[in-house]
Amino acid sequence: MLAGDSPSHFAFLGSVRVHYKSYGEGNEALVFIHGWTCDLTFWRGQKPVYTSHRSLLIDLPGHGKSGKPRIPYPTEFFARAVDAVMTDAGVDRAVLIGHSLGGNIAYTFVRLFPQKVKSVVLVDAYVTRPVGVPSLQTRALYQKRARGLSGPTGQKNFVRQVNAMFSDRTPSDLRAEILSKMLATPEYVRVAAVTSISKLPPADPNESFDIPALAVTAIYTFERAATMRSIFPALEIQKWEDYGHFLMMEDAERFNRTIEEYLVGLP
């Protein structure tokens, strides 16, 4: 449950139900997009933010209380689910706040619906321009990744991968909760979310989006910063030293203060 909980709502993307929570009123909103195998409760520490602004918190398809069909899950499918929620909630324009895979989904949303985006906040997320039709080498890599995440061995690999996301700031009870919730996402969704081939055309290598953008990250490198700034030239980057992947949960107060200060500066 979320602190300051609100009733559940459901939008539809085709026949797939997409669960979300809605706070406040208005046609502009903060839209919180969780990461791989997570759910909207990962934002519970952001109660002071989402209850004081028009906000939408989404369970992506395959996650949380949303429908979980056995289908491919490329990033554009998730992005269209975000659009379905915004449409259902009467939101025309958003500040997209995406954690991890949610950052890539936010970028895909910008590519699909640029007129609906006011700003993006990338939370320990690394985005790159998608290339064209995946090569045979890329397809083979996806197949290898799928095998590595499947079955008993795949679950062990997944647990090892999640444990590597924590820092010394992640309390043991929070580690256990995060791992439990991520393991609750069906294996076929876990695999499909990181191995489904996108059907979108490749991005123009010179395409960029002149909108306000913020990256709050523990994984900063100059190379990654340069790549992301080539997509979002106005990108501001805040590097949090000694934090883990779930920094918005490790230090909710600092994260919330960062978001509020950023929102004040938006046009």
182-211: pLDDT as tens digits: 999 999 999 999 999 888 988 898 999 999
Residue 159 located in a structural domain: no
**What pLDDT is stored for residue 3 in this prediction?**
47
What is the count of structural domains for the chain?
1
User: With bands split at pLDDT 50, 70 and 90, how would you rate the model's confidence at 136?
Assistant: low
Residue 255 lies in a domain: yes
pLDDT for position 91 = 98
What is the pLDDT at residue 139? 76
Please state, in angstroms and rounded to a whole number, the distance separating the CA atoms of residues 178 and 168. Answer: 15
Mean pLDDT, all residues of the chain = 94
Mean pLDDT of 96-114: 98
DSSP, collapsed to helix, strand or coil, labels residue 27 as coil
Report if residue 210 sits inside a domain: yes
What mean pLDDT do residues 85-114 have? 98
Triad 197, 100, 182: Cα angle to 5°? 90
Neighbours of 137 (CB within 10 A): 8
| Separation of alpha carbons 110 and 54, rounded Å | 20
CB neighbours (10 Å) of residue 188? 16
As given in the structure block, the two tokens for residue 237 are 């980057």
3-state secondary structure of 51: coil
Paired strand residues for 123:
99, 216
40 close to 34: Cβ distance less than 8 angstroms: yes
Q: Is residue 162 very low, low, confident or very high in pLDDT (cuts 50, 70, 90)?
A: very high
Burial level of 266, CB count in 10 A (0-12/13-18/19+)? Answer: exposed
Residue 235 sits in a domain of what CATH number? 3.40.50.1820
Q: What is the pLDDT of residues 3-44, one digit of tens each?
A: 457 899 999 999 999 999 999 999 999 999 999 999 999 999
By residue range, what is the domain housing residue 211?
8-131+200-264
The confidence score (pLDDT) of residue 100 equals: 97
**93-99 and 117-123 strand pairing:** parallel
Average pLDDT value for residue range 32-58:
98
pLDDT of residue 24: 97
Within-domain flag for 137 = no
Give me 173's structure tokens.
């009870």
- 32: phi then psi, degrees, rounded to nearest 5: -90, 125
- Does 194 reside within a domain? no
B/e letters for 69-102, b = 16+ CB within 10 Å, e = fewer, are: bebebbbbbbbbbbbbbbebbebebbbbbbbbbb
Position 28 in a domain: yes
What is the Cβ-side half-sphere exposure of residue 4, based on CA atoms within 13 angstroms? 16
Confidence of residue 138 (pLDDT cuts 50, 70, 90): confident
32-43 pLDDT, tens digit each: 999 999 999 999
2 against 215, higher pLDDT: 215
- Answer whether residue 71 is part of any domain: yes
Kindly state whether residue 34 falls inside one of the protein's structural domains: yes
